[in-house]
Amino acid sequence: MSPESGYIAQLVRAFVSGGSAATRPPPGLDWERLGRLLQAHGIGPTVAQQIDGSTVPRAFREALALQNHGLHRRGALLGLELTRLLAQLERAGVEPVVLKGLALGRSLYPAPSQRVVSDLDLLVRRDALDAAGQALGKLGYRPADEVRHPQFYAKHHFHLRFRSSAGVLVELHWDLSRPTDYTRFDLDGFFGRARVIEHGGAALRVPADSDQLLHAACQALRRGYADLRRLIDAALLVKVGAAGTPGLAGTAERQGMATAVWVLLNLGRALAGPAVPDAVESALRPRPLVRRCLNSLPLSEVVLEVDAQHDGLRRLLIWLSAPSLGAAASEIRQFLVPGELQLLDEGHDPGRLPGFWRRGALTARHTASLLKIAGFQAWRLARSL
């Protein structure tokens, strides 16, 4: 682990613990690289107070302050825009649940500005989707994606993207996973457990803490866990008791995400400190071979170095976290034989999808990737013995 990654881990642990003492950096730190990593993870405002300023170079301090100022302004803009959106949606008879960063910042973090937010995510019931889209249109929002065909979202995805003239991006969800994903949320329960908090004088519906945890695990899995914000979210949720919610392990298992939650909680404990109740950890624990494979991977370093953007490792984690051999085989089959979902996701038009030979070439390339991934896992297992 590099000195910069190690220092970030110390900062994260100090923030989650709630301590006020600043964390001294180790000698020989590459300050420019540290700044890049903080920016890549989007946690500069989160850990800024934990950095010991007495030994920080002026150039780094000024660059971090400038970066954080921009993120604070962006977060404030999104908070104001959310108030406007909620009022318009209420007039349309739509009651959304606010997801992810903004909901977490206002319900979990000591200060909302400490949770970086890049866009707005709203979950509505499927039968309210048209009314919600029309409400956004009245505020000047237009469909945002110019790469993928609308059929990709209508048939294979779980949200639509809208952008305002001011550049605010809204993802309007009717679900939390794709139809082909092995992770499936109980949406009726998700809506039913949502709670109301205050935001700018308005009522804001946010998911229950246990659902925030499950959603964070699902998102972290699809990103290969290469996002420290999700781990910090999970660690803070554990601190407020989300991991001890009665029935959490059973819900995670029914929804196909028990292993994903187990990995997220263990990474959170390794990097941020909070311990998970033994009974919960035991109930979520994957099968011995899967656990051995996961434990052989240097996930803490991968997360800190943002290396899980490498597609092969991300796919390996998705396959290992599948709730059954059948689910894993389905994921691998989709990878090897690209279907309409993958092709539309790559930007192809549904009326001009690649033909037999082109798909065959893709399958051959993906097969070679699969063999490399399998070889990497075998090598890691051999090293761990």
Distance CA 187, CA 180 (A): 16
Cross-strand partners of 203: 198
Q: How confident is the model at residue 342 (pLDDT cuts 50, 70, 90)?
A: confident
Looking at residue 372, what is its pLDDT? 93
Give the residue with greater pLDDT, 292 vs 343: 292
Which band of pLDDT confidence, cut at 50, 70 and 90, is reported for residue 200? Answer: low
Average pLDDT over residues 44-56: 85
Q: Which among 273, 260, 187 has a CA at the least distance from the CA of 223?
A: 260
Q: Is 379 exposed, middle or buried (0-12, 13-18, 19+ CB in 10 A)?
A: exposed
Mean pLDDT confidence for 230-239:
92
- What pLDDT, in 10s, does the model give residues 95-134? 999 999 889 998 899 888 899 998 999 999 999 999 999 9
Q: For the chain, what is the HEC assignment? A: CCHHHHHHHHHHHHHHHCCCCCECCCCCCCHHHHHHHHHHHCCHHHHHHHECHHHCCHHHHHHHHHHHHHHHHHHHHHHHHHHHHHHHHHHCCCCCEECHHHHHHHHCCCCHHHCCCCCEEEECCHHHHHHHHHHHHHCCCEECCCCCCHHHHHHHCCEEEEECCCCCEEEEECCCCCCCCCCCCCHHHHHHHCEEEEECCEEEEECCHHHHHHHHHHHHHHCCCCCHHHHHHHHHHHHCCHHHCCCHHHHHHHCCCHHHHHHHHHHHHHHHCCCCCHHHHHHHCCCHHHHHHHHCCCHHHHHHCCHHHCHHHHHHHHHHCCCCHHHHHHHHHHHHCCCHHHHHHCCCCHHHCCCHHHHHHHHHHHHHHHHHHHHHHHHHHHHHC
pLDDT in tens, 139-181: 999 988 777 777 888 888 899 999 998 889 999 999 999 999 9
Q: How far apart are CA 25 and CA 42, in angstroms?
A: 19
Q: Which two tokens stand for residue 342?
A: 């993958």
Contact, 236 vs 216, CB < 8 A?
Answer: no
Q: Are 245 and 209 in contact (CB under 8 A)?
A: yes
User: Are the CB atoms for 16 and 274 separated by under 8 Å?
Assistant: yes
Residue 21, pLDDT > 80, answer no
CB 239 within 8 A of CB 108: no
Query: CATH: 3.40.50.1370, 3.40.50.1260, 3.30.70.20, 3.30.460.40. Which one for 80-207?
Result: 3.30.460.40
pLDDT score at 64: 87
The tokens 């000047």 sit on which residue?
140
Residue 308's pLDDT is what? 43
Say how far apart CA 192 and CA 186 lie, in whole Å: 10
Q: Which residue has the tokens 């739509």?
A: 94
Q: Which of 309, 233, 220 is nearest to 263 (CA)?
A: 220
Domain positions in the chain are 1-56, 80-207, 310-384
* Among candidate residues 341, 338, 336, the one with its CA nearest the CA of residue 319: 336
Task: Identify the pLDDT of residue 307.
Answer: 56
